[in-house]
Amino acid sequence: MKAKSTLIALILSLFYFSCNQEKEPEVKNYWPNAGVTYEIFVQSFYDSDGDGIGDFNGVTEKLDYVQELGANAIWFMPIMPSPTYHKYDVTDYKAVHPDYGTMEDFKRLLEEAHQRDIKIVIDMIINHTSTEHPWFQESKKGRDNPYRDYYVWAQKDTIADFLDKKVITLDSDNIRQWHDPGSGEDYYYGFFWGGMPDLNFDNPKVREEIYEIGRFWLEEVGVDGFRLDAAKHIFPDDRPLDNHEFWKEFRAKMEAIKPDVYLVGEVYDKKEIVAPYLPGLPALFNFDFHYTLLEAFNTADGMLLPKKQKEILDFYQNITPEFIDATISSNHDQPRLLNELGEDVDKYKQAIAVMLTMPGAPYLYYGEEIGMKGLKPDEHIREPFLWDVKAKDEGRATWIEPKYSIDSEVTPLALQRNDPNSIFNHYKSLINLRNTYPALALGKLSLPSSEYPKPIMAYSRVHEGQEIFAVHNLGDEEISIELPAGFDKVIFGMGDGVNLNGTLTLQKNASRVYVK
């Protein structure tokens, strides 16, 4: 009797196995439209030579890790010479910062990345330079200097009204846009800070310089594209049309050099302001996604995000059918997502499950996959990655004393690897899932026809006959819902839940993703 039931079990499991084998979908690379891009701050990533600062060779050593995670591209925060740790104020556009290594090191990194089919996108900061850039050093010498018009200058009495202007924006808390280099007569314009004078894009020479810099990185160095910093500020806020036109010109120039160049822009604003940039910048960060994701979780209002996302995508669609929606759950300018969610790991894992099952091309900020923590000021949301327990962590950067991402607060990667419930394995399996089901990567978003209780977030994704239904309980209480017909195969689940003949009961922070 026992032998017989064992035999039946074996036959059943073989049957199940062969069915599964037959249906096992293929892992694909959906970048740039839907694949994951991994944002790296080189300074904090992996230090290969023990000087305390992360470097290019360190990244090269960790490319297998990026590949294991399932990311298809890397965005590097600024790598060019600069006097600041964050390097968003460049002094030389055709070189790399010596702290990070040599140009040869960087080219080797590129080659190794490309061998793994990982694309490389670098931060390009052209709105402003450092005050230490040779152009500005010349420009400030006087009105007759040939570089004077590389920047925006005004005589003090013509800008009196602006000198006391106290307006802050979403992306800058600087209240003084005009700065005195010391003479008390002529002031220069620096939107973000006196150390970052804005370049004058009305000057055709400046544009030519910028296009030549683009050519250098695409053609001579071989990067795949750029992340365009502060794209909305090329011209002042009252000249948005000039901004849109500039980026169209920039795109045309870059595409003439490299037809498949990837350009992603930072336009830190709401969808009405962001969307008109699409013809020039085919990929744009979706900051609304980030804020709505947080709001949905912090108010347990499930449909807030799918409805917002549908509204944004429909709005973009009306501007151009070809765009890349670069979704973010956090980045180097935001407090770490885990902190934003009250350090609640279940909520955090669920937020990640939402981002990776929603439409878009998700950007993953380094360290998020191990649950790194951090709050402002900015350097503390950019703390060193924890590869292993501190005593054994040879590659851990030490350029800053971390306050939030320390061993007692964040479990280092090496310890998370073997834990099936770790944040790392959660991330990795979700990215893998996204790269496996075409509907999860490319599927059109649709909202459910049924009305669910407020804490339920539900949406469908459809692509070429494949249909996905995702449902998340963001609340603290158990909720039961009727599943739409035909969804009985679970491809992802977290938290406790039971499906009884189509009635799904989900506990606190439980999610299920089904495929039809």
List residues near Ca ion by CB under 5 A: 47, 49, 51, 53, 55
Q: Report the distance separating Cα 194 and Cα 196, nearest Å.
A: 5
279: nearest Cα among 250, 313, 309, 257? 250
CB of residue 54 vs Ca ion: minimum separation in angstroms?
6
CB 57 within 8 A of CB 104: no
Q: Calculate helix-pair angle for 287-299, 304-319, nearest 10 degrees.
A: 160
CB of residue 193 vs Ca ion: minimum separation in angstroms?
27
Coil/strand/helix, residue 479: strand
DSSP state of 286: E
Identity of the residue, 43 or 330, whose beta carbon is nearer to Ca ion in the bound complex: 43
Identity of the residue, 137 or 398, whose beta carbon is nearer to Ca ion in the bound complex: 398
Residue 438: both structure tokens together:
């075409």
CB of residue 62 vs Ca ion: minimum separation in angstroms?
13
DSSP state of 172: B
> For the chain, how long is the longest CA-to-CA vector?
101
Angle among Cα 128, 131, 136 to the nearest 5 degrees reads 85
In sign, the C-alpha dihedral spanning 299, 300, 305, 308 is negative
211: nearest Cα among 265, 258, 243, 275? 258
> In which region does residue 43 sit, left (phi positive, over 0), alpha (psi from -120 to 50) or beta (all else)?
alpha
Identity of the residue, 77 or 510, whose beta carbon is nearer to Ca ion in the bound complex: 77
Identity of the residue, 47 or 467, whose beta carbon is nearer to Ca ion in the bound complex: 47
Instruction: Supply the residues annotated as catalytic.
Output: 229, 266
Identity of the residue, 51 or 488, whose beta carbon is nearer to Ca ion in the bound complex: 51
Angle among Cα 210, 174, 126 to the nearest 5 degrees reads 5
Q: What is the 3-state secondary structure (H, E, C) of 44-92?
A: HHCCCCCCCCCCHHHHHHCHHHHHHHCCCEEEECCCCCCCCCCCCCCCC
CB of residue 46 vs Ca ion: minimum separation in angstroms?
9
> For residue 492, which phi and psi values (nearest 5 degrees)?
-155, 140
Q: Which residue is nearest to Ca ion (CB)?
A: 55
CB of residue 395 vs Ca ion: minimum separation in angstroms?
9
Coil/strand/helix, residue 297: helix
Is the N-terminal amide bond of 377 cis, ω within 30° of 0? yes
CB of residue 101 vs Ca ion: minimum separation in angstroms?
8
Identity of the residue, 51 or 295, whose beta carbon is nearer to Ca ion in the bound complex: 51
CB of residue 133 vs Ca ion: minimum separation in angstroms?
25
CB of residue 49 vs Ca ion: minimum separation in angstroms?
5
Identity of the residue, 55 or 340, whose beta carbon is nearer to Ca ion in the bound complex: 55
Q: What does the chain come to in residues?
A: 516
How many Cα atoms are found within 13 Å in the side-chain-facing hemisphere of 114? 11
DSSP state of 379: G
Identity of the residue, 55 or 224, whose beta carbon is nearer to Ca ion in the bound complex: 55
DSSP state of 477: S
Helices (H), ranges, 391-513: 413-417, 423-434, 438-442
Element (H, E) at 492: strand 489-494
262: nearest Cα among 357, 126, 394, 123? 123
